[in-house]
């Protein structure tokens, strides 16, 4: 019997391939696999896909729209994997990775476990207030600062050496409801690998500089690398990669 040529890939198959690629990249970089977290980017994909991903053992997820994930979360909060009592949502840690308008800070704090794309002082202040007012969050909200390192990449992010980044870093120790965990960047798309590598290396270097200048702050996390460039990111020290397409297939729109 012959198989149809274009069967959609099974999530378990793409996860196995991805795991192999991550392990290979870690081995090539002489780093333990345990140093690199996989953030599964489930944006645009339905709640059912997330349930399947959780049943395959994934637990870290990234989403880029507040309302989209709020809708999925209502489903996930009543979904169970056969044989498991806890809800699917309670087995997930969901990170916001998109552009967040300050006026959506309260809603974002309600539905997410971490905000990985803080790109302004104003947003950080709004998030701090929202967490402080929240009945859901009893602990500080983990955050990453999004850094803009290349012109080709996203328009958002804080520029190294800028007044705003410095002010934000000065303020962070007083924003007690936020817990800075590190830096995040989006690499340039469709450029030669060496440009991508330079961008990731620059984030790693910046982390070292900031950690030295700001002993009251901690920067353990370097979130960099997506489907097309995660091996380079792992080689350059990523501790968290954000993979969507290589796991869940192409998105209809972004």
Question: Residue 33 contacts by C-beta under 8 Å, 6 or more apart in sequence?
Answer: 22, 23, 26
Residue 197: is it exposed, middle or buried by C-beta count within 10 angstroms (0-12/13-18/19+)? middle
Cβ-based nearer residue to ligand PLP, 41 or 238: 41
Report the nearest approach of ligand PLP to the CB of residue 138 (Å): 28
Phi/psi for 157 (5° steps) reads 125, 155
Question: Residue 211 contacts by C-beta under 8 Å, 6 or more apart in sequence?
Answer: 217, 218, 219
Report the nearest approach of ligand PLP to the CB of residue 63 (Å): 9
Is residue 97 near ligand PLP by the rule CB under 6 A?
yes
Cβ-based nearer residue to ligand PLP, 39 or 124: 39
Cβ-based nearer residue to ligand PLP, 68 or 167: 68
Is residue 49 near ligand PLP by the rule CB under 6 A?
no
Report the nearest approach of ligand PLP to the CB of residue 121 (Å): 20
State the residue number with the nearest CB to ligand PLP.
244
Q: What is the residue-wise DSSP string for 62-108? A: EES-HHHHHHHHHHHTT---TT--S-TGGG-EEEE-S---GGGHHHH
Is residue 243 near ligand PLP by the rule CB under 6 A?
yes
Written as six digits, the tokens of 142 are 């983990």
Cβ-based nearer residue to ligand PLP, 213 or 245: 245
Report the nearest approach of ligand PLP to the CB of residue 232 (Å): 13
Report the nearest approach of ligand PLP to the CB of residue 30 (Å): 25
Is residue 64 near ligand PLP by the rule CB under 6 A?
yes
Cβ-based nearer residue to ligand PLP, 161 or 250: 250
How many helices (H) does the chain have, and how many strands (E)?
9, 8
Report the nearest approach of ligand PLP to the CB of residue 250 (Å): 8
Is residue 227 near ligand PLP by the rule CB under 6 A?
yes
Question: Residue 11 contacts by C-beta under 8 Å, 6 or more apart in sequence?
Answer: 49, 52, 53, 56, 247, 248
DSSP state of 39: E
Cβ-based nearer residue to ligand PLP, 237 or 244: 244
Contacts to ligand PLP from residues 138-197, by CB under 6 A = 186
β-strands 37-41, 60-63 pairing: parallel
* Residue 24, helix vs strand vs coil: helix
**Interatomic CA distance for residues 11 and 42, integer angstroms:** 12
Cβ-based nearer residue to ligand PLP, 146 or 170: 146
Is residue 41 near ligand PLP by the rule CB under 6 A?
yes
Binding site for ligand PLP (CB under 6 A): 41, 43, 64, 97, 186, 226-228, 242-246
């Amino acid at each position: 019997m012959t198989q149809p040529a274009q069967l959609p890939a099974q999530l378990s198959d793409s996860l196995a391939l991805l795991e192999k690629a991550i392990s290979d990249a870690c081995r090539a970089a002489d780093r333990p696999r345990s140093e690199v977290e996989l953030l599964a980017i489930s944006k645009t994909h339905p709640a059912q896909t997330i349930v399947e991903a959780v049943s395959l053992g994934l637990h870290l997820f990234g989403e880029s729209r507040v309302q989209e994930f709020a809708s999925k979360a209502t489903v996930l909060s009543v979904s169970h994997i056969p044989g498991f009592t806890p809800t699917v949502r309670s087995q997930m840690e969901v990170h916001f990775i998109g552009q967040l308008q300050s006026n959506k800070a309260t809603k974002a704090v309600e539905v997410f476990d971490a905000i990985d794309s803080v790109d302004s002082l104003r947003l950080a202040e709004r998030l701090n207030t929202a967490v402080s007012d929240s009945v859901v969050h009893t602990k500080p909200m983990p955050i990453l600062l999004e850094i803009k390192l290349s012109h080709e990449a996203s328009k958002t992010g804080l520029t190294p050496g800028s007044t705003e980044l410095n002010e934000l870093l000065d303020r962070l120790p007083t924003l007690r409801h936020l817990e800075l965990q590190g830096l995040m960047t989006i690499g340039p798309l469709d450029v030669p690998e060496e440009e991508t590598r330079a961008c990731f290396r620059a984030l790693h270097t910046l982390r070292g500089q900031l950690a030295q200048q700001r002993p009251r702050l901690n920067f353990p996390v370097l979130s960099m690398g997506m489907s097309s460039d995660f091996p380079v990111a792992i080689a350059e020290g990523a501790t968290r990669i954000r993979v969507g397409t290589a796991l869940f297939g192409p998105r209809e729109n972004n």
